[in-house]
């Protein structure tokens, strides 16, 4: 089967499509023929191994896992003998490492669910990671009824997920993004939009209960004066936020939190329900064929994407 592989860390050019051995499902797994996957910021961090902490997780000198990819959408091609709910021919989506490949094996009890009717593979591939991350940042910020919430970087994968989910919790959302995307984030649920190219939200005198840095490019030190007493800054990147999260538990009137928990099956199942009822939208910026993974990665590296960047293979479509 075809898969995207890399044998060293570096720029997108280290990625190439190669024939590799096709996986065989275990007794409790399904074999999914992948029709669409995504290139995420996490994929790019892992490809570059930056910050260097990634090397301790992935391999000091070279990557132990040659194939990246977190999200998939496709068709179940075969099932293990202990699989009871999914059958060959089911259209499914979810999360599985190594998804930049024609086939992946996924445990039936893992991060997988059926694709709602009428949803394309491209759309289904582009929802799980951003939704799961958004759920965790909202939980970390204790976002609830009446929360005055600001989301910095509201048009990324996590950002578009958080903008959609926060109003269901009763929060009022201020979205910080480029002015050209103001209409999009308003359609997703933002009550107010701050054009980051025109206005610095830390200098407009407004204060918020919770600030989520959805792109990992802001900092608590800059944003803390925009928090009310008892306010929470939810960090998603920048390692110096880890010690700040510890220090602000004991000192100061505001604090930092850094959610680090992994993906959960319950999140994928709740996402499936929201998709079926039309309460959550997939935001797809660009679609590339698998062979253009380097170009797709360059675009994600540019930090210009809105929502998600999708890779297609095996004749993606409905």
Q: Which pLDDT tens digit goes with each residue over 100-142?
A: 999 999 999 999 999 999 999 999 999 999 999 999 999 999 9
Question: Could you tell me if 222 and 174 lie in one domain?
Answer: yes
Q: Please give the backbone phi and psi of residue 7, each rounded to the nearest 5 degrees, phi first.
A: -110, 0
Residues 192 and 236 in one domain: yes
- The reply to whether 146 and 115 lie within a common domain is no
Structure tokens at 178: 């480029």
Q: Which of 150, 126, 29 is nearest to 73 (CA)?
A: 126
**Residues 123, 10 share a domain:** yes
User: Would you say residue 42 lies in a domain?
Assistant: yes
Tell me the CATH number at 163: 3.40.50.720
Distance CA 60, CA 223 (A): 34
Same domain, 123 and 186: no
Q: Is 318's pLDDT higher than 50?
A: no
CA distance 213 to 219: 8
Q: pTM higher than 0.85 for the full model? A: yes
Strand pairing category for 227-234 and 208-213: parallel
Predicted pLDDT of residue 262: 80
Q: Evaluate whether residue 208 is within a structural domain.
A: yes
* Strand, helix or coil for residue 271: helix
Which structural domain, as residue segments, surrounds residue 201?
A: 133-257
Residue 263 located in a structural domain = no
Q: Determine the 3-state secondary structure of 145 from DSSP.
A: coil
CATH of the domain at 56: 3.90.180.10
In a domain, 236, yes or no: yes
Q: Are residues 60 and 149 in the same domain?
A: no
In a domain, residue 266? The reply is no
Residues 90, 70 contacting (CB under 8 angstroms):
no
pLDDT for the residue numbered 241: 66
Q: Residue 169 half-sphere exposure, CB side, CA atoms within 13 Å?
A: 20
Question: Is 118 in the same domain as 195?
Answer: no
Q: Is the pLDDT of residue 213 over 70?
A: yes
Shared domain for 182 and 89, answered yes or no, is no
Clarify whether residues 101 and 145 are in a common domain: no
3-class secondary-structure state, position 245 = helix
Decide: residue 85, CB within 10 A, 0-12 exposed, 13-18 middle, 19+ buried: exposed
In the predicted model, is pLDDT for residue 49 greater than 60? Answer: yes
169 within domain boundaries:
yes
pLDDT in tens, 167-194: 999 999 999 999 999 999 999 999 999 9
Domain count of the fold of the chain: 2
Q: What confidence category does residue 216 fall into, taking pLDDT thresholds of 50, 70 and 90?
A: confident
Residues of the chain above pLDDT 70, percent: 96
Q: Tell me if 43 is assigned to some domain.
A: yes
Q: Indicate whether 17 belongs to any domain.
A: yes
122, 42: one domain: yes
Give the pLDDT of residue 260.
73
At 219, is the pLDDT very low, low, confident or very high (cuts 50, 70, 90)? confident
Q: How does the average pLDDT of the chain come out, rounded?
A: 93
Together in a domain, 121 and 143: no
State whether 195 and 253 are in the same domain: yes
């Amino acid at each position: 089967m075809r898969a995207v592989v890399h044998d060293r860390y570096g720029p997108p050019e280290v990625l190439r499509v190669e024939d590799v051995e096709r996986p065989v499902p275990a007794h409790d797994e399904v074999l999914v023929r992948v029709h669409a996957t995504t290139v995420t910021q996490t994929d790019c961090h892992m490809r570059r191994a930056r910050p260097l902490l990634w090397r301790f997780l992935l391999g000091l000198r070279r990557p132990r896992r040659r194939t990246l990819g977190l999200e998939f959408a496709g068709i179940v091609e075969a099932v293990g003998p202990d699989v009871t709910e999914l059958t060959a021919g089911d259209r499914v989506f979810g999360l599985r490492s190594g998804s930049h490949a024609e086939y992946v094996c996924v445990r039936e009890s893992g991060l997988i669910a059926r694709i709602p009717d009428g949803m394309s593979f491209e759309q289904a591939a582009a929802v799980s990671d951003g939704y799961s991350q958004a759920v965790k940042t909202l939980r970390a910020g204790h976002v609830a009824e009446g929360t005055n919430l600001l989301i910095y970087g509201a048009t990324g994968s996590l950002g578009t997920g958080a903008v959609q989910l926060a109003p269901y919790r009763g929060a009022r959302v201020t979205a910080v993004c480029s002015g050209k995307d103001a209409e999009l984030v308003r359609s997703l649920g933002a009550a107010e939009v701050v054009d980051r190219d025109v206005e610095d939200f830390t200098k407009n005198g407004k204060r918020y209960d919770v600030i989520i840095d959805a792109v990992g490019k802001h900092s608590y030190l800059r944003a803390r004066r925009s928090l009310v007493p008892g306010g929470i800054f939810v960090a998603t990147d920048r390692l110096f936020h880890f010690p700040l999260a510890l220090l602000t538990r004991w000192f100061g009137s505001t604090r930092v939190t850094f959610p680090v928990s992994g993906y959960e099956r319950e999140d994928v199942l709740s996402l499936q329900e929201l998709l079926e009822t039309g309460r959550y939208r997939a935001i797809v910026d660009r679609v590339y064929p698998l062979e253009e993974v380097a170009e797709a990665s360059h675009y994600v590296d540019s930090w210009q994407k809105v929502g998600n960047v999708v890779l297609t293979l095996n004749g993606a479509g409905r």
